[in-house]
Structure 1
Amino acid sequence: MWYYPRGLLSGGAQTCVGKGGRADLSNDRYGCDMHTGSLRIVARFLSSDQIRSAIRLPTRLTATMLRIVVVGGGIAGLSAGIALRRAGHIVNIYEQSDMKHEVGAAINVPPNASRFLTSWGLDPKLSRFVKARALAWCDPFTANAKETMSYEERAAKSGGAELWLAHRVDLHNALKHIATDPAGPGIPVTVHPGSRVVGYEPRAPSITLASGEVIEGDVVIGADGVHSLASETVLGYENRPVAPSHYNYCYRFLIPVSKLQADPETRSWNADIDGKTRVFADNENRRRLVAYACRDNTIYNFVGLFYDEASTYSAKREDYLASVDKAEVMERFAGYHPSILAVINKATDIMRWPLLYRPPTPVWRKDRLVLVGDAAHPMLPHQAQAGAQAMEDGVALGIVLRGVSTPEEVEERLELYQKIRRNRASAIQILSNVGADQSHLVYEDLKEFLAEEDIPTNPSEITDFNFGYDVVAASLEAVHQLTETAAPRPNRGVNNAAADHDASNLADSSQCTTVVH
């Protein structure tokens, strides 16, 4: 079944008349136009029920929305759900876990994501995020800072958007609330936990659950993570992981700040704690330790990256729950300054997993099945951009799927989504194989996705490349170019100036349009 939404309409005081009804819209939060007796009302921030209660609509008119099926309720799936809800569509998310026991360590929420998260309604204080202030490159053998970069200055260069240090569970909970909150714009996202997907049909499109139930939609979004069945369906083969050349294992652990404070030997670690990330890199021996505090500066997050030459590298899949004895970590970082080793010695629950690299995915869509997040661009942790890129994917999808009306137009817009996202995400995927101080190691690989003059070559340039991007502006521009070059559709009555006005309202991500016929 197809619904037929239309394009972006203007705001402003005006009266619209259609068969069987008249609505005087004097508030510039609304806009409408009339063509062939069809009444359209664009109501930003209002749900369909609120629209109907505020405006006298003919009973024959029905909401015009796409049925969106999202597979995966992680950061990528929830972000896509939020953006598509705000675009006026009906979104159902199918997640195989029960979503009651979310786990994870910390995550960066950089300016390229925070700039639209706040307009979605995310409150960093309520979610206990820490505002990042500085990045310190430290000597691992003396523990002294060698070079410090101000995140606050970088944020100012990026239009004022902040970088936050968050606990992954806190970010996930915030996104889940925004997606499902009845008070938000559009129809709340419906999440179906305990729904394992065993098959995709791109053309229908549809998914098949383990129970045998088939769920149909107008668009299916594969947000099913690094071990993606959706990706395999799109590509026609498994995007097999390979051993990276520079770092092939990762440790992750959390230590309460209070635990470090209680011991005089580790208490100094908490000095100047607020918003500072420290990197202790021993590049000669291919090992580094990254540390920062999250959750209102109450928990320290540690990431240890290293290369194990003795490993036979038999691992074919990541196991994120494999634990390791603390003695192994102490041995791995032997030679680091005693103050650093004293902190590591406080860890009680350490996870270790192999870092498996997958090359950039050549195709992100097949028919009306499309990939987002790790399903499209699985990344290693060095750039701390995996979550942000997943959220950028969701925003881009929400923008390109506004106002589509036919299966052919949906496929055209999904192709545009791939064009907007693939080169940028693939470049960051490649940069994520190494630290920001090692971009020369992947310079040649980046040429496939970036013009040579655009390739970042040092930590400062990489930070600007990562943080300075505005996915809203880029997506709006791409849609504008597509619609400008497309042949005009007859009898649409769309005012170009009005559409430009509407797009400018969207540029800060604070507007949402729900269309009803």
Structure 2
Amino acid sequence: MTERKEKIAIIGAGLGGAVAGALLQHSGFDVDVYEQAPSFSRLGAGIHMGPNVLKIFERFGVDKQVVAISSTPSHWFSRDGLTGDYLSRIPLDGYGATYCTVHRGDLQALQCDQLKPGTLHFGKKLVRIDDNGTDVMLEFEDGTSVRADIVIGADGINSKVRETLLGYEKPNYSGWVGHRALISAEKLKKFDLEFEDCVKWWGPDRHMMVYYTTGRRDEYYYVTGVPHPAWEFDSAFVESSREEMASEFEGYHPIIQALIESTDEVTKWPLFNRNPLPLWSRGRLVMLGDACHPMKPHMAQGAAMAIEDAAMLTRCLEETGISGYATAFKLYEVNRRDRATRVQTVSNANTFLLHQEDPSWVYGYDVYAQPLKSESAA
């Protein structure tokens, strides 16, 4: 009788889930990833991948490919949204790897391609989890089911894994929305203005983050943070308009006005978060990324924290093997909670890089260089 190989199931093929799958497979684990979307599509918009993340991508050989599809700004500029005055000029080199801005969909496609053929399953919306102590049964909306020895919840702020561990609870609406728009760089050529590689425009109570999303620099992206008293819509986002943007940023700098004028389509998204959770794992279930520490996107580190989680969880499972999952999960939380909570707090406060400061605690971090703290450090 052949011995059954221990299996890991990952719920969610976003950046955290895809990278976790690739890292674990690279380390020799038997891993399948289950994604509720029916197929892959180039959804989302821009995203930052700092040197702290590129060091992780280097581990499974995709760092150069990421750089090739990205814009690689030399600085993060912060500017006064009304006057245009520079509030900070933060160099983005010197942290041991490249700083990238890229389209989230392009990056996710690249990460999913690193998974072994046949191990990424679309159309798998999780509806029930049964951790019976021996293994875990996962039941999907399409009527199929699978068993796994451990389950990693990388399924976002509305995580079904989180709900199983802690019960249903709506995330907290932050009182802010983000407008997102992609602009063809060709449209910007008519303006006698300089459109910088990576700049955050700060107003008294709102901001606009702007950067290129491709290595060709043919796609320029902005995302805002704007106060909005209540989210009164049922959907994840709603259509916005050039007129709404003009109203929200009336009187702001001519570069912002040029971006709004060049906007064809813009959407508006509510910004949600959760209070720090009392646990990140129980039994054979463990969470990473937005499932356990969602944050406002104001540091551009939300996905980065999910990817760092994936790397640390892989390190811990390499130490213990799947059979030692209980120890691995404790090690993982002990070695990730403080950093994730600090980033969550700073990101929610929306003060990062507003003034001249040293961001090496973020970008200089190397998850593989950290000595593993023991369980007793909890």
TM-score (norm 2): 0.91
Alignment partner for residue 183 of structure 2, among 241, 255, 269?
A: 255
1:421 is aligned to 2:320 = no
Alignment partner for residue 257 of structure 2, among 330, 341, 346?
A: 341
Aligned to 1:175, the other structure's residue is in SS state helix
What letter corresponds to residue 192 of structure 1 in structure 2?
Answer: H
1:100 is aligned to 2:40 = yes
1:211 is aligned to 2:147 = no
Distance 1:220 1:371 in 2: 8
Distance 1:359 1:124 in 2: 36
What letter corresponds to residue 77 of structure 2 in structure 1?
Answer: A
Alignment partner for residue 225 of structure 2, among 302, 305, 311?
A: 305
Structure 1 contact 400–417 (Cα < 8 Å) conserved: yes
In the TM superposition, what is the alpha-carbon distance from 1:436 to its structure 2 partner?
2.8
Structure 2 contact 158–171 (Cα < 8 Å) conserved: no
Distance change >3 Å, CA 472–CA 319, structure 1 → 2:
same
Aligned to 1:469, the other structure's residue is in SS state coil
1:431 is aligned to 2:346 = yes
Aligned to 2:172: 242
Distance 1:459 1:223 in 2: 34
Distance 2:40 2:321 in 1: 37
Aligned to 1:138, the other structure's residue is in SS state strand
Structure 1 contact 151–163 (Cα < 8 Å) conserved: yes
| C-alpha distance after superposition, 1:170-215 (max 9, x if no partner) | 11011111223xxxxxxx6701111111011233322111133321
Greater shift in the superposed pair: 62-71 or 377-386 = 62-71
Distance 1:312 1:388 in 2: 28
What letter corresponds to residue 424 of structure 1 in structure 2?
Answer: R
Distance 1:240 1:385 in 2: 23
The gaps in structure 2 that reach 5 residues or longer are none
Q: How many residues align?
A: 373
Distance change >3 Å, CA 125–CA 198, structure 1 → 2:
closer
Aligned to 1:5: none
1:178 is aligned to 2:94 = no
- Deviant stretches of 4+, over 6 Å: none
Structure 2 contact 53–304 (Cα < 8 Å) conserved: yes
Matches within 5 A, 1:56-67: 66-67=6-7
What letter corresponds to residue 257 of structure 1 in structure 2?
Answer: A
What letter corresponds to residue 301 of structure 1 in structure 2?
Answer: Y
What letter corresponds to residue 260 of structure 1 in structure 2?
Answer: L
Structure 2 contact 87–356 (Cα < 8 Å) conserved: no
| C-alpha distance after superposition, 1:324-356 (max 9, x if no partner) | 121011000001023421221110110101212
Matches within 5 A, 1:112-151: 112-122=52-62, 123-124=64-65, 127-151=68-92
Aligned to 1:319: 236
The structure number with the bigger radius of gyration is: 1
Aligned to 1:328: 244
Structure 1 contact 231–371 (Cα < 8 Å) conserved: yes
Distance 2:120 2:281 in 1: 23
| Percent identity of equivalent pairs | 28
The gaps in structure 1 that reach 5 residues or longer are 1-59, 181-187, 440-457, 486-517
Matches within 5 A, 1:155-166: 156=94, 158=95, 160-166=96-102
Aligned to 1:167: 103
1:460 is aligned to 2:357 = yes
In the TM superposition, what is the alpha-carbon distance from 1:137 to its structure 2 partner?
1.5
In the TM superposition, what is the alpha-carbon distance from 1:242 to its structure 2 partner?
2.3
1:269 is aligned to 2:200 = no
TM-score (norm 1): 0.67
| C-alpha distance after superposition, 1:381-440 (max 9, x if no partner) | 101001111111111111111153574x2111112111111221122112111323599x
Aligned to 2:210: 291
| C-alpha distance after superposition, 1:32-85 (max 9, x if no partner) | xxxxxxxxxxxxxxxxxxxxxxxxxxxx9x899531111111111111101111
Aligned to 1:233: 164
Distance 1:423 1:356 in 2: 21
Distance 1:277 1:406 in 2: 42
In the TM superposition, what is the alpha-carbon distance from 1:114 to its structure 2 partner?
0.6
Distance change >3 Å, CA 279–CA 173, structure 1 → 2:
same
Distance 2:322 2:173 in 1: 43
Aligned to 1:430, the other structure's residue is in SS state helix
Aligned to 1:419, the other structure's residue is in SS state helix
Distance 2:301 2:67 in 1: 23
| C-alpha distance after superposition, 1:266-300 (max 9, x if no partner) | 24234xx4xx31111112xx111111112021111
Aligned to 1:432, the other structure's residue is in SS state helix
What letter corresponds to residue 147 of structure 2 in structure 1?
Answer: E
Aligned to 2:250, the other structure's residue is in SS state coil
Distance 2:255 2:298 in 1: 24
